Copies of this chain bind each other. A is one copy, B any other.
Amino acid sequence: MVNVAVQDKYVNGVNVSAVQAVAKDIQSDFELAKCTFRLHNKWINGSINSSNIDGFFGFKKDIAHPNPFSLEVDEPSCLAGSNKAPGPVEYLLHALVGCLTTTMVYHSAIRDIQIDEVDTEVEGDLDLRGFLGISNDVPKGYQNIRVNFKVKTDEQNLDRLKALSKLSPVFDVVSKGTDVQVSVERI
């Protein structure tokens, strides 16, 4: 008997063999696909609060992050903050473009579409009259968001990459909305 080393297939830096193995496992047992992502947030003072992200539930078990992540939010000084960290509305744009990009890269890798570079500008328009309660007719959140990808790839791939990026979970939430339950109890 000879041991044959089977090489994992990589496209766009993505281990396609690993992604396909996950998909195959899930196809044979849908319960594996049910994830609960979570974090713990503590208000520090004024405009600063901090989230600790130590793991998530998925594949029927708790999965710890080897190195838990800590993320702060703050506001700029013109909004009575202290400029120590990005604002929540900036984190939202980051979550969106991060997810659109990863989704584009993963789904193109699985389809053998090569991408050499991705460089993206994101903008979101927000009128502070909504948040400040100055006008009830103005939305409190972004009125619109623009994500402009520049991709180094074959010209023929561009339309497909746009469609693939829209399989993104965060795009799904930000473009359609989802159910958010808020409860407040006393410590």
Contacts and interface: CB of A to CB of B under 8 A. Distances in A.
The interface residues of chain A, by DSSP majority, are classed as mixed
A32 to B, nearest CB: 8
A151 to B, nearest CB: 6
A63 to B, nearest CB: 6
A76 B69 CA distance: 12
Interface in A86-100: 86-100
Given A45-B13, A47-B14, A118-B43, A172 B141 contact: yes
Interface of A: 10, 12-15, 18-19, 22-23, 26-27, 30, 32-43, 45-47, 49, 51, 53, 56, 58-59, 63, 65-67, 69, 71, 73, 75-76, 78-80, 83, 85-103, 105-107, 115, 117-134, 138-153, 155, 158-159, 161-162, 165-187
